[in-house]
A and B are shown apart, each in its own frame.
Chain A
């Protein structure tokens, strides 16, 4: 095991350096930038540090509990940072700043939508999740329901979300890295996939957690430094910053109030439902609650995570607004030097150009390295959640019916991580040059309409039965995926049809409602003996959820 770890680490480092050389030899394509040496050097420091951590973590990862939950020994503060790390992806930094840059206040509303799920997760879900679960969210969904069917279905729900999200991240990684580092798209995707495999396969949750923590600190530190550099350009006055922004933006005064993004109340409501409850249904986020020793630490982790995420969003708003006048009036950042034309590198780049404008090449290199690290950390968390759905839920519980040994399960987990890594690389290459924005809608649609209803009802509703959960889940899955396909983003923009069959990009308003209704209907009409036994079993689950009696504790080392 150990020898293969060294081999893989050496291999991935070689891959990085080779790709640097290869890219240096052949720079073609319009999008690709010259090799950015300082960015690559800083990224290499991050990679070396995290591989060192992985080696240390590999020594501590002996049992399945170590692998899935870092032995349950992470503190609330550490877990809070890691949760924030999981949630603050490169897409968040680039996407929200660019939305503020183009649409002003609408970007802020969007950030609020992405934030608001966190307090609700704490109030309604966090401690029950910790008290009932052990390794995965399927543990809770199938707590008193049919192990075979519900666990299989919950694992499929998790894997679906993980795959959609992985594609988004891999495609984003390829595009971003090609632009910032001057590497080939395919090379960039392969580097991300290989490093992710190394972290997850050898270091499990311990390594993934520390990668997340380091990345969260870098991202927050980088964001705040950039904000201070930006504010210094405006004499530390927000009034000044906004005055300049209004002067230089084509929206003018309209920049400061809600615009087109949220103009349709039904669409806005559907978006906010999907983001609010989808956040609570993301498998890699839920899994983080099992890494802390008890409900007390689980609550603390959400408090810290919410603080870091909120702070990060507020910082990105200032960055986006600052970029309007700094980047938006500088011909150096536009193709052909035409101010107001196409931004070099595409619409997601304002914050990167801002870094160059206020901090020079070294700061741009730093932020590029942080963005790369961010993607790496997020895909690692996703891969770990996917691997545990395969090994813990499907293999150990469903196929082996709980009779797998710890060693067998670990082996399957590692194969699953490698398999997911390869899948992610292939999908990343397959979706090159595609508009993957709809996959975000899909991931949140499935999370809010498949994972969330079964999770919340199994914890809160005595009447839930296997039949109800299964039919409700299937209804949620089919409707959320189906409606995204019929939505404007896919039906019109990708398939080229003249009009969308379903008018909203986010399906939650229909698919989530349908999932809850079908679950309810098929549960209350379920008069089987199994259903009666499942309702009977709620009592024991309820007491455990409320008090933590019998909950999985921290595992001694």
Chain B
């Protein structure tokens, strides 16, 4: 079977549309979950620095700026985990099905 027929079959398979739609949406949502807090953070850092001066707890010395920045890093990493687990599970299963059905 030629590459062209396999491709046409992949394209015609509704599962392919499902895969691409789901994965694209998921990637965009996760990107926004990373970028919106990040750019808000950058915006407030440069325009409202005193916002980050509030102390943690009553007797504390550490300002809220530190855990917020740490959270952006840790949260960004955890989100990569979320993406990888769904992409390597659900999405890859769908991909395999699409390819298998196209090669039939």
Contact B10 A547 (CB under 8 A): yes
Contact A296 B49 (CB under 8 A): no
Contact B45 A268 (CB under 8 A): yes
Q: Which residues of A contact B11 (CB under 8 A)?
A: 539, 543
Contact B65 A122 (CB under 8 A): no
Q: Which residues of B contact A49 (CB under 8 A)?
A: none
CA of A265 to CA of B63 in the docked complex: distance in angstroms? Answer: 22
Contact A550 B63 (CB under 8 A): no
Closest residue on chain B to residue A107 by CB atoms? B69
Residues of A in contact (CB 8 Å), total: 51
B5 to chain A, nearest CB (A): 12
CA of A109 to CA of B46 in the docked complex: distance in angstroms? Answer: 10
A208 at the interface (CB under 8 A from B): no
CA of A62 to CA of B66 in the docked complex: distance in angstroms? Answer: 50
Contact B95 A122 (CB under 8 A): no
Contact B27 A124 (CB under 8 A): yes
Which of A118, A239, A262 meets B80, CB within 8 Å? A118
A261 to chain B, nearest CB (A): 9
Q: Which residues of A contact B34 (CB under 8 A)?
A: 116, 119-120, 123
Which of chain A's residues 262-314 have a Cβ closer than 8 Å to chain B?
Answer: 262-265, 268-269, 272, 295-296, 299-300, 302-303, 306-307, 310, 313-314
Closest residue on chain B to residue A239 by CB atoms? B61
CA of A452 to CA of B41 in the docked complex: distance in angstroms? Answer: 24
Q: Which residues of B contact A269 (CB under 8 A)?
A: 42
Q: Which residues of B contact A122 (CB under 8 A)?
A: 80, 83-84
CA of A547 to CA of B7 in the docked complex: distance in angstroms? Answer: 10
A438 at the interface (CB under 8 A from B): no
Instruction: Tell me whether A258 and B52 are in contact in the complex, defined as CB-CB below 8 angstroms, given that A299-B87, A302-B80, A549-B7 are known contacts.
Output: yes
Contact B79 A119 (CB under 8 A): yes
Instruction: Tell me whether A310 and B74 are in contact in the complex, defined as CB-CB below 8 angstroms, given that A256-B65, A296-B92, A540-B7 are known contacts.
Output: yes
B44 to chain A, nearest CB (A): 8
Q: Which residues of B contact A48 (CB under 8 A)?
A: none
Contact B38 A262 (CB under 8 A): no
Contact A119 B10 (CB under 8 A): no
Contact B83 A299 (CB under 8 A): yes
Which of B77, B83, B102 meets A123, CB within 8 Å? B83
CA of A112 to CA of B72 in the docked complex: distance in angstroms? Answer: 7
5 extra A-B contacts, CB within 8 A, seeds A111-B73, A546-B16, A550-B3:
A112-B69, A119-B79, A243-B61, A257-B49, A307-B80
Interchain residue pairs A-B with the least CB separation, the first 7: A258-B49, A257-B53, A256-B63, A265-B46, A123-B27, A268-B46, A258-B45
